[in-house]
A = this chain, B = another copy of it.
Amino acid sequence: MEQRRYFEQLDAIDPLLDLRALFDLRDDRVFFNGNSLGPPPRATADRLDEALRRWRDDMNAGWWDHQWLQLPTVTGDRIGALLGAAPGQVAVGESTSVNLFKLLCGAMELQTDARSVILTDRDNFPSDLYIADGVTRYVHRQATVRRVPTEEIGEHIDSDVAVVMLSHVDYRTAQLFPMREINERAHDAGALVLWDLSHSAGVVPLELDAAGTDLAVGCGYKYLNGGPGAPGYMYVAHRLLPRFEQPVTGWLGHTRPFDFTPGYAPDPGAARLTTGCPPLLSLLALDEGVQLTARADPAAVRAKSLALSEEFIALASERLAPYGVEVTGPTDTARRGSHVSLHSDSAERLAKGLAARGFHLELRPPDLLRFGLAPLYIRHVDVFDCVAAMEELLAEENTGHGGPRR
């Protein structure tokens, strides 16, 4: 166990370890699926208790007295700080998919009909592809979705393209797209870019404003630790916001929602991106998750994320490769987000065996295992133990078969 001690020592000097104590974690389980759902901050329970008390005591007045009404943009700005976005450009909305729909429609609205292509990665997150299809099928019927291989995105950005829609980090391979470069290339061609930050916000350094980003959406329940189904957020750059029109024009986006005027007039700021009453309990939990996430130094988060990724990849290459397990995605960690995916013919068995040992991760049948390496609560020793457990499981499986396959 010499090697394990090294990882323990890395944890002992981890500048983020204090934050780990602010999460409500079980000692007997390690969750490598924080890239699907981050764990609860300890403070979330109190925040919800307080909300229940206020709901009982003040009822409807809570929307004003406790500024629940402002929360979509207040939490939005807190998220904005994590995204490198100056205040006033981010609002929390409804689900990520609804938010994406709104921004995609709004982006198309900014372009002329002559630009009729939504360009995307054919390996983009399926739900994002569904939304784009819905937009072209039911709203901008003159438009089409052009799905191309990841490596061909750049060459397809031409004068037909209205919007380039991409995930900043590929949900399978963890590949990190060069945001600034793609923004620039798109702007040169007259296109807008809409980023999905679901797998990067809170774990990959983001500089939306500095990178000249136009539009972005992201989810609240992964690395932002906002809870199951936490509402997602929308970013529209200041320079686009005044003329940005999204189609789901509800009262919360109105400039004076309580005047009850018969006509819609959008709020001048990011509130115009919102539509209906926010699901307050879920929104408060999101706010708590965001506030905890924002306490971490982004440089420390990235440094630990890279270290965990490198450790995981190195250990997996050394110990698991002989059993036919392969690491996917870029080998250069600088071009990666914060999860590692492994291909293995034994994926389902491994996932089950790991779960029995307290290691939880995401299985994408038939053969993909995803390990989220969230620096705020995953320890170096967790990575070591998990790979060691996989090695044991694979060795057991191969006993009597003459050892490792190759």
Contact = CB atoms under 8 A, between A and B. Distances in A.
Contacts of A39: 55-56, 59
Given A36-B60, A129-B262, A228 B98 contact: no
A119 interface: no
Contacts of A51: 228
Given A56-B24, A97-B248, A130-B250, A221 B277 contact: yes
Contacts of A138: 105, 109, 139, 245, 247
Interface string A252-276: 1010000011111000000000011
A49 interface: yes
Contacts of A235: none
Contacts of A252: 95, 97
Interface stretch (A61-69, A73-81, A200-208, A313-321): A61-69
A371 interface: no
A127 interface: yes
B33 A283 contact: no
A227 B280 CA distance: 8
A135 to B, nearest CB: 7
Nearest to A260: B126
Interface in A187-234: 219, 221, 227-232
Interface in A123-158: 126-127, 129-131, 133-135, 137-139, 147
A248 B61 contact: no
A138 to B, nearest CB: 3
A276 B95 contact: yes
A25 interface: yes
A249 to B, nearest CB: 4
A299 interface: no
A175 interface: no
Contacts of A48: 48, 52, 281
A168 to B, nearest CB: 18
A373 interface: no
Given A139-B247, A247-B101, A281-B285, A40 B52 contact: yes
B55 A228 contact: yes
A364 interface: yes
Contact of A59 (B31, B280, B285): B31
A280 B282 contact: yes
Contacts of A262: 122, 126, 129, 147
A134 to B, nearest CB: 4
Contact of A127 (B130, B231, B232, B251): B251
Contacts of A280: 227-229, 282
Nearest to A28: B57
A362 interface: yes
A391 interface: no
A276 B122 contact: no
B98 A98 contact: yes
Contacts of A49: 45
Contacts of A61: 360
Contacts of A232: 276
A94 interface: yes
Contacts of A134: 247-249, 264
Given A109-B138, A134-B249, 9 more contacts: A31-B60, A33-B60, A40-B56, A44-B52, A97-B275, A126-B261, A130-B264, A147-B262, A229-B277
Interface of A: 24-26, 29, 31, 33-34, 36-37, 39-40, 44-45, 48-49, 51-52, 55-57, 59-63, 68, 94-98, 101, 105, 109, 122, 126-127, 129-131, 133-135, 137-139, 147, 219, 221, 227-232, 245, 247-252, 254, 260-264, 275-283, 285, 360, 362, 364
